[in-house]
Chain A
Amino acid sequence: MLYVRDPYLNEMRDQTEYHIRSEAHKARPLEPSKVSDKDWGDYIFFFANTKGIHFERWVNFTGHRKWFNVIRNTVTDEILATYRPDEDVKKIIADLGIDKKDIKVSGVLKKLKKKSS
Chain B
Amino acid sequence: MDKLQPYSPLQGLAGTTGINVKLKELNRFNLILRGKQDDNKFMKSAQKIFDKLPVKPNSTYQKSGITIIWVSPDEWILTGDYDKLEKVKTDLDKSLENTHYALIDTSDYYMSANISGNNVRETLEKGVVVDLHDSAFPIGYATGTRYEKAVINLHREDNNSYNIIFRRSFAPYLWGHLVKASQEFK
A residues lining the B interface (CB < 8 Å): 8-11, 13-14, 16-17, 60-66
Q: Is the CB of B145 within 8 A of A62?
A: yes
User: A8-B72, A64-B71, A66-B73 provided; 8 other pairs, C-beta below 8 A?
Assistant: A10-B57, A14-B129, A14-B130, A16-B129, A17-B129, A64-B72, A64-B73, A64-B75
Over the window 126-168 of chain B, the binary record of Cβ atoms lying under 8 Å from chain A Cβ atoms (1 yes, 0 no) is 0001100000100000011110000111000000000000000
B residues lining the A interface (CB < 8 Å): 57-58, 71-73, 75, 129-130, 136, 143-146, 151-153
Closest to A14 in B: B129
Q: How far in angstroms is the closest Cβ of chain B from A17? A: 6
Q: Is the CB of A8 within 8 A of B143?
A: no
Checking B130, B151, B153 against A13 with a beta-carbon cut-off of 8 angstroms, the contacting residue is B130
Closest to A66 in B: B72
Inter-chain contacts of B144 with A (CB < 8 A): 17, 60, 62-64
Q: Is the CB of B129 within 8 A of A63?
A: no
